[in-house]
Amino acid sequence: MSVVLAGGGTAGHIEPAMAVADALTALDPQVRITALGTARGLETRLVPGRGYRLELITPVPLPRKPNVDLARLPLRVRQAVRQTRAVLDAVDADVVIGFGGYVALPAYLAARGGPPWARGARRIPVVIHEANASAGIANKVGARSAARVLSAVPDSGLRNAEVVGVPIRAAITDLDRSALRAEARAHFGFAEDAVVLLVFGGSQGAAAINRAVSAAAGPLAERGIAVLHAHGPKNTLDLRTAASGDPPYVAVPYLDRMDLAYAAADLAICRSGAMTVAEVSAVGLPAVYVPLPIGNGEQRLNALPVVNAGGGLLVADVDLTPAYVADVVGALLADPDRLAAMTVAAGHVGHRDAARRVAHVAMDVAHRARQASGR
Domain ranges of the chain: 2-168+353-373, 171-349
Q: Which residues contact 128 (CB under 8 A, 6 or more apart)?
A: 97, 98, 99, 108, 139, 142, 143, 146, 148, 149, 150, 158
Coil, helix or strand at residue 108: helix
Cite the annotated binding site by residue number.
10-12, 132, 169, 203, 299
Q: What is the pLDDT of residues 273-300, one digit of tens each?
A: 989 999 999 999 999 999 999 877 889 9
Helix axes 68-90, 104-111, angle to 10 degrees: 50
Tell me, what's the pLDDT at 107?
95
Calculate the CA 111 to chain-centre distance: 25
User: Which pLDDT score, from 0 to 100, does residue 262 have?
Assistant: 97
Q: What is the pLDDT of residue 71?
A: 58
CB 54, CB 21: distance < 8 Å:
no
Note the pLDDT of residue 40: 84
Residue 341 has pLDDT above 60, yes or no: yes
* Nearest-angstrom CA–CA distance, 203 and 119: 42
Of the options 3.20.20.100, 3.40.50.2000, 3.40.50.720, 2.20.25.160, the CATH number for the domain spanning 171-349? 3.40.50.2000
Q: Can 2-168+353-373 and 171-349 be said to share one CATH topology?
A: yes
Residue 89 has pLDDT above 60, yes or no: yes
Integer Cα distance of 283 and 174 in angstroms? 8
pLDDT in tens, 165-200: 999 999 899 999 999 999 999 999 999 999 999 999
Cβ count near 210 (within 10 Å): 22
**Per the annotation, where are the binding residues for UDP-N-acetyl-alpha-D-glucosamine?**
10-12, 132, 169, 203, 299
**118: confidence class by pLDDT, cuts 50, 70, 90:** low
Q: What are phi and psi of 98, to 5 degrees?
A: -110, 140
Q: Does residue 63 surpass a pLDDT of 80?
A: no
Of 80, 100, 84, 141, nearest to 14 (Cα)?
100
pLDDT at 192: 95
> What topology does CATH give the domain 2-168+353-373?
Rossmann fold (3.40.50)
Q: Which of 31-40, 290-299, 326-335, 353-362 has the lowest mean pLDDT?
A: 290-299
Ramachandran bin of 149, using left for φ above 0, alpha for ψ from -120 to 50, beta for the remaining angles: beta
| Better-scored residue on pLDDT, 331 or 206 | 331
Q: For residue 259, what are the CA distances in angstroms to 175, 176, 198, 344?
A: 7, 9, 12, 18
The percentage of the chain sitting over the pLDDT mark of 90, rounded to a whole number, equals 70
